[in-house]
Copies of this chain bind each other. A is one copy, B any other.
């Protein structure tokens, strides 16, 4: 029990799920929101705004970066992050391509 079954789904499904997972926590939504407003900012500014410890924020940033949603580069002793808009566009495209199919049917359940 508790075996990994994620690999048995299609790559597209896995990618979409991975993106969704990246934004599936309010803290990460908040981080993205800050980045969207300020265009770019350093880790410390984000820590100031969020109700979380520095190490926790750093962890969330890492996850967002691993998922490809943000870019980051170190600038002296600090780290500067910004949103990777291309990744968001790809998400929108994939998301729609999965669900646009029968939208016009406007199904009523059973």
| Chain A interface (Cβ < 8 Å from any Cβ of B) | 5-6, 8-10, 13-14, 16-17, 20-21, 23-30, 32-33, 36-37, 39-40, 51-52, 71-73, 75, 80-83, 85, 88, 98-99, 101-103, 105-110
Q: Please name 12 further chain A to chain B contacts, defined as beta carbons within 8 Å, in addition to the given A16-B29, A20-B23, sorted by A numbering.
A: A9-B27, A9-B51, A14-B26, A16-B23, A17-B23, A17-B26, A20-B21, A29-B98, A36-B99, A36-B103, A40-B109, A72-B109
Q: Which residue of B lies closest to A12 (CB)?
A: B29
Instruction: Knowing A26-B14, A101-B36 are in contact, say whether A109-B85 is a contact too (CB < 8 A).
Output: no
Q: Which residue of B lies closest to A103 (CB)?
A: B85
